[in-house]
Amino acid sequence: MAQTYLLFDFGPDEDKVQQARHKLENWKQAFRLDKKLQYKLEREQSPEPVAAEAAPTPAAKAEKSKSAKTKSKSKTGSAKSAEPAENSGPVKLLVRLYFSGHEKLSEQRWIDRIPTEEPFKSASPRLVRENEPEFAEILKQFDTLE
């Protein structure tokens, strides 16, 4: 079975990363690509964690003053807003396409489709196939990520 990796560098844009992740999940379910399309995110931490910790504190105090109904909604919203502050470093998305030999046409269609879709276009897509010299490094990187 041939493995192909697509690498996308989203930078610190967390919204684009989440859009891409949702799109990949939708494709996996809709086209039954459970083992054939896998992805992992590589997040690099920003060099200033102290500033990231100070930012959510005023937002947490403002939440306490709201009513109980809005409070529950605000907590989920603040958790989302706190996440980009903690992970403000660049985010890379590694997508592995793992099709068997008789599915070459399907594999090529996905290789052509994914980089042309909206959240992936602006992420400077890069394709790494099995016969390329940097493939071993990408494979090792993909296996070490969660």
Q: Which domain CATH number covers 94?
A: 3.30.70.2190
Q: State yes or no: pLDDT of 142 exceeds 50.
A: yes
- Residue 82 in any domain: the answer is no
Residue 116 lies in a domain: yes
Question: What type of residue is 127?
Answer: L
Contact predicate 38/98, CB 8 Å: yes
pLDDT of residue 35 exceeding 80, the answer is: yes
Q: Is residue 9 part of a domain?
A: yes
> How many domains does one find in the chain?
1
Do residues 91 and 45 make contact, with C-beta atoms less than 8 angstroms apart?
no
Q: How confident is the model at residue 85 (pLDDT cuts 50, 70, 90)?
A: very low
**Is residue 140 included in any domain, yes or no?**
yes
Is residue 105 in some structural domain? yes
Q: What integer pLDDT is reported at residue 6 of this predicted model? A: 97
pLDDT of residue 69: 44
The answer to whether position 33 is within a domain reads yes
The confidence score (pLDDT) of residue 46 equals 64
Question: What is the distance between the alpha carbons of residues 81 and 85, in angstroms, rounded to a whole number?
Answer: 7
| Domain presence at residue 64 | no
Mention every residue, 6+ apart, whose C-beta is less than 8 A from residue 95. 5, 6, 7, 8, 24, 37, 38, 39, 114
Q: Residue 72 pLDDT > 50, yes or no?
A: no
Within a domain: 65: no
Average pLDDT estimate for 73-96: 63
Q: Percent of the chain having pLDDT more than 70?
A: 71
Domain carrying residue 132 = 2-46+87-144
Look at residue 67 and tell me whether its pLDDT is greater than 50: no
